[in-house]
Amino acid sequence: MALKNKARRKVPLYFDEECEGLREASRFNAELMDVVRARMQPGITTLEIDRLVYEYTTDHGHTPACLGYKGYPRTICTSVNEVVCHGIPDATPLRQGDIVNIDLTTVVHGWYGDSSETFILGDAGPETKRLVQAAHDSMWIGINAAQPFSRVCDIGKTIERYAKARGFEVVREYQGHGIGREFHQEPGIPHYCPRVGASQEILEPGMCFTIEPMINAGTWRTFIDSRDNWTVRTLDLAMSAQFEHTILMTETGPEVLTLTQNGPQQGHKF
Give the length of the chain: 270
- Please give the pLDDT value at position 3: 45
Strand order in the sheet with 185-189: 185-189, 176-178, 208-211, 245-250, 253-256
- Please give the pLDDT value at position 147: 97
Beta carbons within 8 Å of 13's beta carbon, 6+ residues apart: 204, 205, 206, 207
Query: If you write DSSP's letter for every residue of 74-101 in order, what string do you get?
Result: SSSEEEETTEEE-PPP-SPBP-TT-EEE
According to CATH, the topology of domain 17-256 is Creatine Amidinohydrolase (3.90.230)
Rounded Cα distance, 139 and 142, in Å? 5
**Residues 55 and 11: beta-carbon distance below 8 Å:** no
**Residues 121 and 46: beta-carbon distance below 8 Å:** no
- Please give the pLDDT value at position 197: 62
- Average pLDDT for consecutive 10-residue bins of the chain (270 residues)? 50 95 98 98 98 98 98 98 98 98 98 98 96 98 98 96 98 97 96 77 96 98 98 98 98 98 98
Phi, psi angle pair for 224, to nearest 5°: -95, 125
Q: Would you state the torsion angle of the CA atoms of residues 85, 89, 91, 93, taken in this order, to the nearest 10 degrees?
A: 50
Phi, psi angle pair for 62, to nearest 5°: -110, 180
Rounded Cα distance, 75 and 71, in Å? 11
Evaluate if pTM is beyond 0.85.
Answer: yes
| Per-domain residue ranges of the chain | 17-256
- Please give the pLDDT value at position 2: 53
Rounded Cα distance, 3 and 219, in Å? 18
